[in-house]
A and B are shown apart, each in its own frame.
Chain A
Amino acid sequence: MNTTAPDPVRLTIVSAGTGDPSATRLLADRISDRTCELAACHGQTAESTVIELRELAADISTALVSQLISPRLEDAIAALGAADGIIASTPVYKAGPSGLFTSFFHVLDDDLIIARPVVLAATAGTARHALVVDDQVRPMFAYLRALTIPTALFAAPEDWGDPALNKRIDRAAVEFVLLMESGFARKIRDASWESYQHEYGSAGGTETGIDLDTDLMRLAAGGSAQ
């Protein structure tokens, strides 16, 4: 008889909202709550970690200009690296995602969240920003080789009173939970992690293997360039 409970699903929420409470965080929380409910229906528990980028604003700007990663930023990177799924939520300013949000992802290693399921969410003061998620946020996650779920979530003021937003959140949660359950990210890691570009110390400091069987290593040991 196997009495071991399955490991809880680890959700990491990244919110670039600036208010307290912020609509951006609220949207992320609603997605997270719905995801946890669904996971529970599927017999799993979920644990979530929240990264409030507002609290890391100085650390993020420091990392951008001086390569220095603060201990708090390291903790955030570790939470993302350990996530089974990521909920990334940003306000929209001037027809684009918050610079705080993009700056945070700019300082991450390229190989930190490969194949990880990600829910993309944004809030804005007007519905005219509705396509920012698909048009601008999704390409950044494509670059990171993350697996963004099909449904983008967006909430302008009028959406908060509209049941259609809840329907979209439900739909997104189903997509998100199914992708996490599929174990896709783990399977990619097992099957073809080496086929992605890595550097020594990348993937949030976890990429520490050194392959001696390469052309460059042979060149280092007195061989010839290929």
Chain B
Amino acid sequence: MQFGIFSVSDITRDPVAGDTPSEAQRIGAIVRIAQQAEAVGLDVFAIGEHHNPPFFSSSPTTLLAFIAATTGRLIVSTATTLITTNDPVRIAEEYAMLQHLSGGRMDLMLGRGNTAPVYPWFGQDIRQSLPLALENYNLLHRLWREDVVDWQGKYRTPLQGFTSIPRPLDDVPPFVWHGSIRTPEIAEQAAYYGDGFFANHIFWPKEHYIRLIRFYRQRFAYYGHGTEQQAIVGLGGQAYIARNSQDARREFRPYFDEAPVYGHGPSMEDFMDMTPLSVGSPQEVIDKTLTFREHFGDYQRQLFLMDHAGLPLPAVLAQLELLGGAVVPVLRKEIAARQDPQTPAAPTHAGLVRARYGDQEPRQPRPNANRGDNVTGGSPYQDSAAAAPAEYPDL
């Protein structure tokens, strides 16, 4: 099981100190936070994608490539990559590049985005968000698996003889998580392709999530990817940790009360009762996190939100010390002791390479000399099988 943190990349005024970090300060801080995540023994760092203030993360692959270059073990990921307003061709290219540069230490989580004004900035319409997401992923899935793609759909110009470069590292596509909070179609798509399903289970009675995750597991098995137990599930969480619960609550309350999204609404105590938020001692965070497994079954990835609502960098780094030092080691031990032996390991590039090739050498695509197009002739790669004929769309 993997443990890590995810950030929405908000730049929020620190309600205690009263100042708002600059974009430069916050971007510098997020790099430190990711590096600290590795230093304290966490497995994953994931960043959101936004295209409006007060967020900074418009270009996740640039940030993640830098983080990957300055770490050695950490898996970099997203929470989420917008599968609606991004061209799936660009997602295929950018994340394959990240995969090469990080040596496979990456994956990504797809989400739709729920800010209506963002869609038209990228020529899209939020009312078509769901079919757009589904169609875009159907294309993205092919772009990473077929050297030459002919494709026609409803939401994007057709492709003829298109090759997404670079081909995935070792010709093994990046692992994909589909993030969804309440959409059965997204769970179905994750199941159909045998991808992961990530539920950021804030804001909704857990019974609904339990049903949705169960649906994903059933469909994963239905499509022949393994048993329900072998489906790949990730969960969100949120924590503020101090040595004792009184200090944790006193320190976090001003940040909670003015947090984006839920601030000025429920009391922190009610929010802790109703959502995955834990504010307390390491033991309290451990106890609450262990209940997730009881509700949703064995799962592969647990991400915590630790850096939002204006928490200053030193506080976040101290939080990570506690998470990595006092919480996660206990969770690893407890979960390993309780887990069903059939539960698959969390996805990694090495694991996917092993599953694909066994002891054989992975494919390393080498292009033929440039001939100007991919439409005529055979594959653009030296080792490919005979040419696949191009299908031309009706004009």
Contacts and interface: CB of A to CB of B under 8 A. Distances in A.
A95 interface: no
B203 A205 contact: no
Interface size class on chain A is 20 to 34
A219 B185 CA distance: 9
A2 interface: no
Given A70-B274, A200-B183, A225-B153, A65 B135 contact: no
Given A220-B188, A221-B189, A225-B153, A74 B261 contact: no
A220 B274 contact: no
Given A65-B264, A210-B215, A225-B135, A201 B192 contact: no
Given A205-B208, A217-B188, A67 B203 contact: yes
Which of A200, A201, A205, A219 has most B Cβ within 10 Å? A219
Interface in B269-300: 270-271, 274-275
A68 B215 contact: no
B134 A220 contact: yes
A61 B215 CA distance: 32
Contact of A200 (B153, B184, B203, B270): B184
Contacts of B186: 220
Contacts of B223: 221
A140 interface: no
Contact of B274 (A71, A199, A201, A205): A71
B131 A224 contact: no
A39 to B, nearest CB: 33
A136 B205 CA distance: 32
Nearest to B212: A200
A210 B266 CA distance: 31
Contacts of A65: 264-265
Contacts of B271: 68
Which of B138, B184, B192 has most A Cβ within 10 Å? B184
A218 B182 CA distance: 18
A162 to B, nearest CB: 43
B204 A219 contact: no
Interface string A205-216: 100101010011
Contacts of B183: 200
Interface in A9-55: none
A192 interface: no
A69 B130 contact: no
Give the interface SS of chain B, mostly helix, strand, loop or mixed. helix
Nearest to B209: A201
Contact of A225 (B155, B185, B270): B155
Given A66-B265, A200-B212, A205-B205, A221 B188 contact: yes
Contacts of B127: none
A73 to B, nearest CB: 10
A146 B33 CA distance: 52
Interface size class on chain B is 35 or more
B266 A216 contact: no
Contacts of A225: 131, 134-135, 153-155
B250 interface: no
B261 A219 contact: no
A71 B269 CA distance: 13
Given A70-B270, A225-B131, A201 B188 contact: no
Contacts of B184: 200, 210, 217
A87 to B, nearest CB: 27
Interface string B329-350: 0000000000000000000000
Contacts of B185: 216-217, 219-220
A210 B188 CA distance: 10
A222 interface: yes
Contacts of A68: 203, 262, 265-266, 270-271, 274-275
Which of B155, B188, B264 has most A Cβ within 10 Å? B188
Given A67-B203, A68-B275, A219-B138, A201 B155 contact: no
B211 interface: yes
28 contacts: A61-B265, A65-B264, A65-B265, A66-B203, A66-B265, A67-B203, A69-B205, A70-B266, A71-B274, A74-B205, A200-B184, A200-B212, A208-B211, A216-B185, A217-B184, A219-B131, A219-B134, A220-B134, A220-B185, A220-B189, A221-B189, A221-B192, A221-B223, A222-B138, A222-B192, A222-B193, A224-B153, A225-B155
Interface of B: 130-131, 134-135, 138, 153-155, 182-186, 188-189, 192-193, 203-205, 207-208, 211-212, 215, 223, 261-262, 264-266, 270-271, 274-275
Top 10 A-B pairs, shortest CB-CB distance: A66-B265, A225-B154, A220-B189, A220-B188, A219-B134, A221-B192, A66-B262, A201-B208, A210-B184, A220-B185
Interface of A: 61-62, 65-71, 74, 199-201, 205, 208, 210, 212, 215-217, 219-225
Given A62-B270, A219-B138, A222-B193, 16 more contacts: A66-B261, A66-B262, A67-B203, A71-B274, A74-B205, A199-B182, A200-B184, A200-B212, A208-B208, A210-B215, A212-B188, A216-B185, A220-B186, A222-B138, A224-B135, A224-B154
